Amino acid sequence: MLGCPYVPTNASRMQESAADFNTNVRFGRNELAVEQVLPESREEYLRHHKPWGKELSLADYELVSAKMVDDDNADVCIKYNWYNVRDNDLHVTTVKQKWRKLHGNWKLASEARTEGDVGIFGEEGPTRVAGDPQAPRSVQFPTVRFGD
């Protein structure tokens, strides 16, 4: 019995590249991840990701959406769950990644925070001021003791 071999589409190759890249980033395999960044974007990528693995720890990621803009460009939305080692609170940030095909391979061209917590790229986020109801606050429940 003969079957037709699966020929991946351009869109499926792009989505696989984005998933591989973000998995490498998630598990700290930066030497593999940086190879998937366009050469002209690597300096900015390295600057944005400098705190990752030191001041910032990725807990997980979710590939939320992937959309082909044209045959050589795509937009990918990633939701990162991450911790800043200073406060150890879980943060959630959505990042839009722009991907471009270069010599038949999909490469990350740029990325930017679109929503969620500030600080994933080392930018200063809001700081908590005691008594400010608009300031970020801890969502940890207070400790209640009975019988003391």
Whole-angstrom distance, CA of residue 108 vs CA of residue 18: 8
* Domains of the chain with bracketed CATH: 10-116 (3.10.450.50)
Distance, C-alpha 101 to centroid of its chain? 20
Average pLDDT over residues 115-142: 64
- Give the helix/strand (H/E) hosting 90: strand 90-102
pTM of whole model > 0.85? no
Confidence bin at 1 (pLDDT 50/70/90): low
- 3-state SS of 15-45 is HHHHHHHHHHHHCCCHHHHHHHECHHHHHHH
Q: What residues does 70 pair with on adjacent strands? A: 73
Q: What pLDDT score does 142 carry?
A: 63
Q: How many Cα atoms occupy the beta-carbon half-sphere of 48 within 13 Å?
A: 16
Q: What pLDDT score does 7 carry?
A: 74
φ/ψ region of 3 (left if φ > 0, alpha if ψ in -120 to 50, else beta) reads beta
Min mean pLDDT across 45-59, 61-75, 114-128, 131-145 is at: 131-145
Instruction: For 40-81, write each residue's pLDDT tens digit.
Output: 999 999 999 988 888 899 999 999 999 999 999 999 999 999
Average pLDDT over residues 123-130: 56
Instruction: For 86-111, write each residue's pLDDT tens digit.
Output: 888 899 999 999 999 999 999 999 99
Average pLDDT over residues 112-136: 70
Residue in the structure block whose two tokens are 């990918």: 76
Report which residue type is found at 136: P
- Asked whether the predicted pLDDT for residue 129 surpasses 70, the reply is no
Could you tell me if 23 and 15 are in contact, meaning their C-beta atoms sit under 8 angstroms apart? Answer: no
- Give the helix/strand (H/E) hosting 59: strand 56-70
Confidence bin at 8 (pLDDT 50/70/90): confident
